[in-house]
Amino acid sequence: MNRINQKLQENKKLLSIYFTAGYPNIDDTVKIIQDLEKNGVDLIEIGLPFSDPLADGPTIQDSSTKALKNGMTTEVLFNQLKDIRKSVNIPLIIMGYFNPMFQYGVEAFCKKCQEIGIDGLIIPDLPVDVFHEEYQAIFEKYGLINVFLITPQTSDERIRFIDSISNGFIYMVSSASTTGAKSGFGDEQTHYFERINNLNLKNPQIVGFGISNNETFTAATKYAKGAIIGSAFVKHVTNEGIGTIDGFVNNILNG
Amino acid sequence: MKLKVCGMKYQDNMEQVAALQPDYLGFIFYEKSPRHFDTKIPELPDTIKKTGVFVNEDLNTVIENINKFNLQAVQLHGEESPFYCNMLGTTKLLETPVEIIKVFSVKDGFNFEVLKEYESVCDYYLFDTKGKLPGGNGYTFDWSLLNNYPSTKPFFLSGGIGLDQVTDIKKFKESNASKYCYALDVNSKFEIAPGLKNVAILREFQNKLGNNTMEENYNVDEKGYYGEFGGAFIPEMLYPNVEELRQNYLKVMAEPDFQKEFDQLLKDYVGRPSPLYFAKRLSEKYNTKIYLKREDLNHTGAHKINNTIGQILMAKRLGKKRIIAETGAGQHGVATATVCALMGLECIVYMGEIDIARQAPNVARMKMLGAKVVPALSGSRTLKDATNEAIRDWINNPVNTHYIIGSAIGPHPYPDMVTRFQSVISEEIKWQLKEHEGRENPDYVAACIGGGSNAAGTYYHYLHEKDVKIIAVEAAGLGVDSGESAATSVLGKEGIIHGCKTLLMQTNDGQITEPYSISAGLDYPGVGPMHAHLAKTERAEFLSITDDEAMKAGLELCELEGIIPAIESSHALAIFKQKQFKPDDVVVMSLSGRGDKDLQNYIDYFKI
Ligand SMILES: Cc1ncc(COP(=O)(O)O)c(C=O)c1O
């Protein structure tokens, strides 16, 4: 069974952390993954940096620009990860925009992911219908789970379609925004989370965008299976470096 | 030959078929027909004549229906007498007169003598096959019978015409029998079910029949692609916005209200039609006939306003209160700020920090027009990053905001919508050139390409005309191989930028690279998907022009014709040094903008 599906079966709320590969320093990738696993994180999203990250706010944009300056490429990332399964067992997801994967060759990219032991992909600008028509078979061939986003504006009908195509979890964007926005969790979110709950989807949901501390993590996971932290973690390594990941994770989980 | 599609029954289907722009759409007001029309007719373009088909119907009922459905033609399918036709043609009860088409079922031994009495009381005849029920029988008759046609009245040819008849129709067209054939009337051979037309087969029929039209489709298809380019590669957060637009844009554009307001503003506010000017001295110098389409004379100084007028009206129809836009040189920003002022809507323009410094006068213009100019601080801080910022703004404001994209780029339906708004350029060229040269089609149409909106508008009505060659001019910057260039068709590879699959400049790793051109309006790392398709299929010839070549051509136009062009347009003008045209070739070139905004550039370059 895919490590993501295994993890989703555990009877607990899941914490997923995003970081930008190649940031703050080009060779930090493996150490960050190992530390996150060691400190009790459940899932990791490895950000493959892109020059034009449309769905990201300033924090992840900056980290991407710097990572590219540091020399990060698809090839470099794959090299860094080639022995990763010797040291960690945590589910790993690559999150990136479609163009770099498209240039690498979608099939070659998926094949490489399988070799390394990547479990899934999140590609915000690959629409679900294009995935379904052109790439789903390739993903399945290499045992990769593709994760789709939904937002408060996504219609029930479309959510059901996305649910039918998904085989891991659904990435529930907390509010209409780019990453890193401080959205807070008010009535609107509660309403939205309840609406999704009532749909009785076959895939569990993990909430992302606007989660930065224990309070927002707790609020988000009240309704969902887990929550994703991105910008707050990137900010943390910007300010503190990668030496205090334990403190960051502990803060999120225990306040 | 014109085309009439008959037996329309379903509203959605009517819209789909209307998109193919047939000349007539027929609605059968005859209850016994399986194609009996019993709903409403959606808003259709003015160019399509709505035709009511009646069989021995009470005259008053016919008149009522004509008025009620605003029919422009009536097709009489029974034994209506000449007297009946005459009544219909002369009655004062009609709000507007209609074309009268009288049908005759033709079989062996048909006596054309019967037509005589109808000569003066109807506008067209329609020859159909005799079958059990009037019309839609699916049988053809022997068209050679029309060799004996004694009249000069134009007629519709009908009866079982389908894709299989294309060769026969072509032969028929060359024969004497077709001399007065005005239109083809099709129905049952293009159906999925009675009254439900198969749009794909209709299109194929149109393509195959047109002798001067191309078989390949250069327009957008139903899925939003031009060949393999286009589509909507957008994050889910943008899906509702883009989908709302996709579902509505054609409908809104077809509303007579909308068309009226759009045309009116283009005329009174923008100053259209823009002249088609025969550049005599330039023509003499290059020994060919050069016409300039003077988009530089539009309000705000470029073609950009054609699109912003269209989109602001669209935004209003969709109930949007807040407008965002990206801009490079500031031309599109100014055109957007202008229409927002005109309509009293909030306007936010994203502009790269570097461009803000380079284009101070346009920044001031936007501010005077009440727009807020927000610097894009990310990435390379130029046009592509301004576009990213505008898209991010849209993600954060999904309900009340419309994004006015400034070129024929972005996710579907933007490239097509922008192209349609800009297509007024070639629509005008057609009749203007006819006045000048006695023909609608030039030998060449040429335009510069940044994202490709002035080019798309200049090409649009010529895309499928075989005798019109298309030239696209890209900015080569310091030279195509210099590393400082914006010649996307040469340097670009297939990829995804700003929501569409197209040709774009990028690294091997798929990172989008920064283009360079002296002209701020041409340094975009991609081209619109329509142009990627035109390049790939070689429908258009792509030429690259360097900074130096463009600047010299700009100055040459000043000296020879007294026109100071935008540096973007100067790129197009420079092709005459690169490509030799024949003396009697007619070359129509889009002069996309005026040079006021570039004065400082010209001053610095020529040390004026
Ligand atoms: C005068 C003029 N021409 C051409 C362009 C290029 O745009 P497009 O390729 O969309 O026509 C611009 C863009 O700013 C412009 O200002």
**DSSP letter for each residue of B149-209:** ----S-EEE-SS--GGGHHHHHHHHHSGGGTTEEEEEE-GGGEEETTEE-HHHHHHHHHHH
Position B149 pLDDT exceeds 70: yes
The DSSP line for A71-139 is: T--HHHHHHHTTTGGGT--S-EEEEE-HHHHHHH-HHHHHHHHHHHT--EEE-TTS-HHHIIIIIHHHH
Beta strands in B212-364, from DSSP E residues, in sequence order: 225-226, 229-230, 276-278, 289-294, 322-327, 346-352
Q: Is the CB of A99 less than 8 angstroms away from the CB of B391?
A: no
Model pLDDT for residues A36-95, shown as the tens digit of each residue: 999 999 999 999 999 999 999 999 999 999 999 999 999 999 999 999 999 999 999 999
Model pLDDT for residues B298-330, shown as the tens digit of each residue: 999 999 999 999 999 999 999 999 999 999 989
**Ligand 1 contacts CB of residue B305 (under 6 A):** no
Model pLDDT for residues A198-221, shown as the tens digit of each residue: 999 999 999 999 899 999 999 999
Our CA angle for B137, B142, B147, nearest 5°, is 135
Query: How close B514 comes to chain A (CA, Å)?
Result: 10
Q: Is the CB of A103 less than 8 angstroms away from the CB of B506?
A: yes
> Is A56 annotated in the active site?
yes
Give the pLDDT confidence score for residue B49 in this predicted structure: 95
Give the pLDDT confidence score for residue B501 in this predicted structure: 98
A138/B47: higher pLDDT:
A138
pTM (two decimals): 0.79
Q: Is the CB of B510 less than 8 angstroms away from the CB of A104?
A: yes
Residues of chain B positioned with their CB less than 8 A from the CB of A181: 396
Q: Work out which ligand 1 atom sits closest to the CA atom of B328.
A: 14
Query: How close A224 comes to chain B (CA, Å)?
Result: 19
Mean pLDDT, rounded, of chain B: 93
**Ligand 1 contacts CB of residue B569 (under 6 A):** yes
B290 CA → ligand 1 middle, Å = 20
Model pLDDT for residues B420-429, shown as the tens digit of each residue: 999 999 999 9
Give the pLDDT confidence score for residue B172 in this predicted structure: 86
Model pLDDT for residues B36-85, shown as the tens digit of each residue: 999 999 998 888 999 999 999 999 999 999 999 999 999 999 999 999 99
Copy the structure tokens of residue B466: 């075989």
Phi and psi at A86, nearest 5°, equal: -75, -25
Our CA angle for B227, B228, B233, nearest 5°, is 125
B262 CA → ligand 1 middle, Å = 21
Interface A-B, measured as beta-carbon pairs within 8 A, has a size of 113
Split at pLDDT 50, 70, 90, the class of A234 is: very high
Position B211 pLDDT exceeds 60: no
Residues of chain B positioned with their CB less than 8 A from the CB of A134: none
B148 CA → ligand 1 middle, Å = 57
Position B448 pLDDT exceeds 90: yes
Q: Which residues pair with B278 in a beta bridge?
A: B291
Q: Which of B384, B398, B499 sits opposite A153 (nearest CB)?
A: B398
DSSP-derived secondary structure letter, B515: P
Q: Determine the residue of B297, B300, B303, B527 to mutate for testing ligand 1's pocket, defined as the one with the most ligand atoms within 8 A of the Cβ atom.
A: B303
CA distance B189 to B163: 8
Give the pLDDT confidence score for residue B108 in this predicted structure: 65
Q: Which of A52, A61, A153 sits opposite B384 (nearest CB)?
A: A52
Residues of chain A positioned with their CB less than 8 A from the CB of B498: 52, 54
CA distance B592 to B270: 14
Position A148 pLDDT exceeds 60: yes
Give the pLDDT confidence score for residue B177 in this predicted structure: 82
Q: Is the CB of B236 less than 8 angstroms away from the CB of A178?
A: no
Position A192 pLDDT exceeds 60: yes
Q: Is the CB of A176 less than 8 angstroms away from the CB of B234?
A: no
Q: Which of A61, A73, A125 sits opposite B509 (nearest CB)?
A: A73
CA distance A38 to B124: 85
**Ligand 1 contacts CB of residue B473 (under 6 A):** no
Residues 59-78 of A with CB under 8 A from B: 61-62, 65, 68, 73-75
Whether the Cβ atoms of residue B25 and residue B14 lie closer than 8 Å to each other: yes
B486 CA → ligand 1 middle, Å = 13
DSSP-derived secondary structure letter, B580: -
Q: Determine the residue of B489, B502, B522, B590 to mutate for testing ligand 1's pocket, defined as the one with the most ligand atoms within 8 A of the Cβ atom.
A: B522
Give the pLDDT confidence score for residue B136 in this predicted structure: 53
**Ligand 1 contacts CB of residue B590 (under 6 A):** no
Give the pLDDT confidence score for residue A54 in this predicted structure: 93
Give the pLDDT confidence score for residue B54 in this predicted structure: 97
**Ligand 1 contacts CB of residue B451 (under 6 A):** yes
Give the pLDDT confidence score for residue B64 in this predicted structure: 95
Model pLDDT for residues B234-264, shown as the tens digit of each residue: 999 999 999 999 999 999 999 999 999 999 9
Q: Is the CB of A158 less than 8 angstroms away from the CB of B239?
A: yes
Give the pLDDT confidence score for residue A183 in this predicted structure: 63
Model pLDDT for residues B368-410, shown as the tens digit of each residue: 999 999 999 987 888 999 999 999 999 999 899 999 999 999 9
Could you give the strand order of the β-sheet that contains A14-20, starting from the edge strand earlier in sequence? Answer: A145-147, A120-122, A92-96, A43-48, A14-20, A226-229, A205-208, A170-173, A149-150
Establish how many alpha carbons lie within 13 A of residue A159's alpha carbon, considering only the half-sphere containing its beta carbon: 25
Position B135 pLDDT exceeds 60: no
Q: Is the CB of B512 less than 8 angstroms away from the CB of A149?
A: no
Split at pLDDT 50, 70, 90, the class of A187 is: confident
Q: Is the CB of A125 less than 8 angstroms away from the CB of B391?
A: no
Residue of A nearest to B390 (CA): A54
Our CA angle for B52, B15, B320, nearest 5°, is 130
Residues of chain A positioned with their CB less than 8 A from the CB of B496: 97-99, 102, 125
Q: Is the CB of A176 less than 8 angstroms away from the CB of B398?
A: yes
Position B466 pLDDT exceeds 90: no
Q: Reduce the DSSP state of residue B276 to 3 states and report it.
A: strand
B422 CA → ligand 1 middle, Å = 12
Split at pLDDT 50, 70, 90, the class of B200 is: confident
Split at pLDDT 50, 70, 90, the class of B212 is: low
Residues of chain A positioned with their CB less than 8 A from the CB of B495: 99, 102-103
Position B180 pLDDT exceeds 70: yes
Nearest CA among B453, B494, B4, B534 for reference residue B219: B534
Catalytic residue among A28, A37, A42, A45: A45
Q: Is the CB of B510 less than 8 angstroms away from the CB of A100?
A: yes
Whether the Cβ atoms of residue B248 and residue B319 lie closer than 8 Å to each other: no
Split at pLDDT 50, 70, 90, the class of B206 is: confident
Chain B interface disruption, residue of A52, A95, A126, most B CBs within 10 A: A52
Split at pLDDT 50, 70, 90, the class of B134 is: low
Our CA angle for A34, A35, A37, nearest 5°, is 70
Give the pLDDT confidence score for residue B142 in this predicted structure: 80
Q: Work out which ligand 1 atom sits closest to the CA atom of B295.
A: 1
Q: Reduce the DSSP state of residue B226 to 3 states and report it.
A: strand
Q: Work out which ligand 1 atom sits closest to the CA atom of B418.
A: 10
Residue nearest to ligand 1 atom 12, measured at CA:
B521
Q: Work out which ligand 1 atom sits closest to the CA atom of B455.
A: 11
Copy the structure tokens of residue B472: 């696209």
Split at pLDDT 50, 70, 90, the class of B160 is: confident
What average pLDDT does the segment A149-170 reach? Answer: 96
**Ligand 1 contacts CB of residue B521 (under 6 A):** yes
**Ligand 1 contacts CB of residue B450 (under 6 A):** yes
Residues of B identified as active-site: 304, 326, 592
Residue of A nearest to B394 (CA): A177
Residue nearest to ligand 1 atom 1, measured at CA:
B593
Residue A97 has a CB neighbour count (10 Å cut-off) of 28
